[in-house]
A and B are shown apart, each in its own frame.
Chain A
Amino acid sequence: MPETKPDFDPRFDPRFQPGYDPAVHAESEHRPRHSSAQMSAERDSGTERDSGAEQDARSSVPVFDAEHLAHGGALDQQEHETPDAAKTPPRSEAALLLRNPFLWIILVLSVALLVWSWTSYESAVATSTNLFSSSFGDDEQTQAEYTKSQFILGFAPFCIAVGLLALSGIGFFAAATWRRDQVAAR
């Protein structure tokens, strides 16, 4: 009796297609299929390909075995490994620290606070001394000078404290980042 070979769809495993007989097609069942590349190569080397167009169409479609599709199979591993291989190496913590825009904002603001407080406090003391030692006019200019000088005299110490705290915070942030980097390197 001549062996009847049904037309299996080459895209899928013959074991799950109608007409598959384990006794007849057992050979193909035990054929190892390790990867889609191997299988493609096998298909390309096969002699049962009818035409070149059909061959191109089939080779463009990957064929997988059931075990490859299962969780933890070759396909699953490939799917997880490909992005890891393609990803860029992670930047170091120190490099990220220098790229952090908010840390730069804090640094600039705290330094500006310190400089402004220190310089303006001295000028405010001089202005206030002049105001209190000379005639107190009721004009707009004197009022503006008084308001500005008293404002600075009141807030400059606070600004110095806040600026120093912010700079200390940046120092602690850098220290924590360095510590994190060291722990990750171990």
Chain B
Amino acid sequence: MTSRISRRALVVTVVGVLLLVGGAVFVSQGLAQRYVGAHSSLTVHQQPHPNDLNEYTYYSFSGGNGLTIDDNITYIMDDIVALTLADAEASGSFQVPHLDVYVQEHGVVAVSGEMPNFWKLASGGVARPWAPHAYMIPAFAGGTVTFAGLFWLATRWHLTASAHRREIDETPL
């Protein structure tokens, strides 16, 4: 009597589950690494920016509303972190580029390095349309392979159960 469970289909299902779990763990660790990297990638310099810097003025509190840089530097840094995170997510990367932030006395912040796409934040970091990234492929392939293996198992079970006293060859379906 042929077994109702195909060993090859079982192996495919297990491989799919391993691929799915491995891909999910990889993505989860990558996201955590991105978050930590965004916080550690900022270097704040309380000094005027170099003259050859391709500067970018992010905030200016020269309006005389009582705010000072010292009170709001944390808030500004958090915003820059959010920008770099949103930028990394948009590009599908787990790496966050290093940025040097120059804070001047009169409330001008200059950022060195590659500029984050600042204007994306204006509509909200999560308002962008969903886009697939390469790091999602292993988990997606794992889920698909898992379901394919389950369908293989189901088909084998059904054919074996419906063929009474009939031998089924061992070739894969």
Contact = CB atoms under 8 A, between A and B. Distances in A.
Interface stretch (A16-24, A40-48, A68-76, A152-160): A152-160
A26 to B, nearest CB: 44
Interface stretch (B45-53, B75-83, B111-119): B75-83
A129 interface: yes
Given A100-B158, A102-B153, A169-B147, A154 B140 contact: no
Interface band, chain A: 35 or more
| Secondary structure call for the B interface | helix
A147 interface: yes
Nearest to B154: A102
A54 to B, nearest CB: 40
A93 B35 contact: no
A61 interface: no
B136 A155 contact: yes
B107 interface: no
A36 interface: no
Interface of A: 83, 87, 90-91, 93, 96-97, 99-103, 105-106, 109-110, 125, 128-129, 131-133, 135-138, 143, 146-147, 150-151, 153-155, 157-159, 162, 165-166, 169, 173, 177
